[in-house]
A = this chain, B = another copy of it.
Amino acid sequence: MDIKTYLSAKKFIVDKTLDKLVPCAKMFPASVHEAMRYSLFAGGKRVRPILSIAAAEALGAGTSGLLPLAGSLELIHTYSLIHDDLPAMDDDDFRRGRPTCHKVYGEAIAILAGDGLLNLAFEVLSDPRRTKAVPANRLIAIIKEISAASGVLGMVGGQVVDMESEGKEIDFPTLEYIHTHKTGALIRASVRVGAIYAKASEKRLKALTRYGELAGLAFQIVDDILDITGKREEIGKDVGSDLKKGKRTFPSFYGLEESRLRANEVAEKAVHSLRDFDRKADPLRELAKYIVNRVN
């Protein structure tokens, strides 16, 4: 299989889904709807929805009913980017090569656009017109999965520790906490949402969960590497921003070369965790490799 073709085909479907999930930019009050769409359609790779879809496919499930749930993962991811970029937080001016949400719409609207996207995710997840393909009890399990991953013991907690660590000498376990919570939790949840949707057995859910954890870790190591070695036009933000902010990263502990080795090792482990799956899991396998070889 060709992962690039797979990714662009899925991205197309996810983008179409997202367009339907978010109110149109002219809907009153327009500013906040515009801001939500501005950040949501800023060229994201849609890694989380695609992981979710690939996990369901690995179990042989059809995925049309999964699309709104997969879309809600991207809504939550985008909310977290908008809030993380705020002046009071990471204070970033560029994201994916464009001015950040608060740079264009002001801080207040950016905060509210983030809040709006987060709420919208749960509105989508509980909307019978959009989720009729999923039995209510499974839907509840999916909502639990997503809210726990994005909450204070997941992504929010990771961002708290990340921010409180800026300019401080942190130890490696603290960096690991930041990674597993800030990025890892939602990536893990994305894979699990696809698995729960597809009625995974306990054993398969466990294997896919392991895959999700490893994929999330590989993703974050590579993010840290790209912040040093990436090209501005490819990563869409300033190179070296972690360093400038005094943020410790994977390479700052292990060096670039060792970090690259580790990322590859982790991706291989992710592939290995799928050893009991047939060819239908190939997209997940290729995704793990893509995650370490990506340039943005």
Give A contacts to B, CB under 8 Å: 23, 27-29, 31-33, 36, 83, 86, 88-89, 106-109, 111-112, 114-116, 118-120, 122-123, 125-128, 131, 135-137, 139-141, 143-144, 147-148, 150-154, 156-157, 159-161, 163-164
Contact = CB atoms under 8 A, between A and B. Distances in A.
B120 A144 contact: no
B88 A156 contact: no
Given A31-B160, A119-B154, A123-B148, 17 more contacts: A29-B164, A36-B152, A111-B111, A112-B159, A112-B160, A115-B118, A115-B156, A116-B151, A116-B156, A116-B157, A119-B147, A120-B147, A122-B122, A123-B151, A126-B141, A126-B147, A139-B140
Nearest to A109: B160
Contacts of A120: 147, 151-152
Contact of A143 (B33, B143, B164): B143
A190 to B, nearest CB: 16
Contact of A31 (B32, B123, B164): B164
Contacts of A23: 152-153
Copies of this chain present: 2
Given A136-B139, A140-B128, A147-B126, A88 B106 contact: yes
A32 B143 contact: no
Nearest to A154: B119
A89 B108 contact: yes
Contacts of A118: 115, 118-119
A62 B161 CA distance: 42
A127 B144 contact: yes
A133 B112 CA distance: 33
Contacts of A28: 157
A109 B143 CA distance: 25
A22 to B, nearest CB: 9
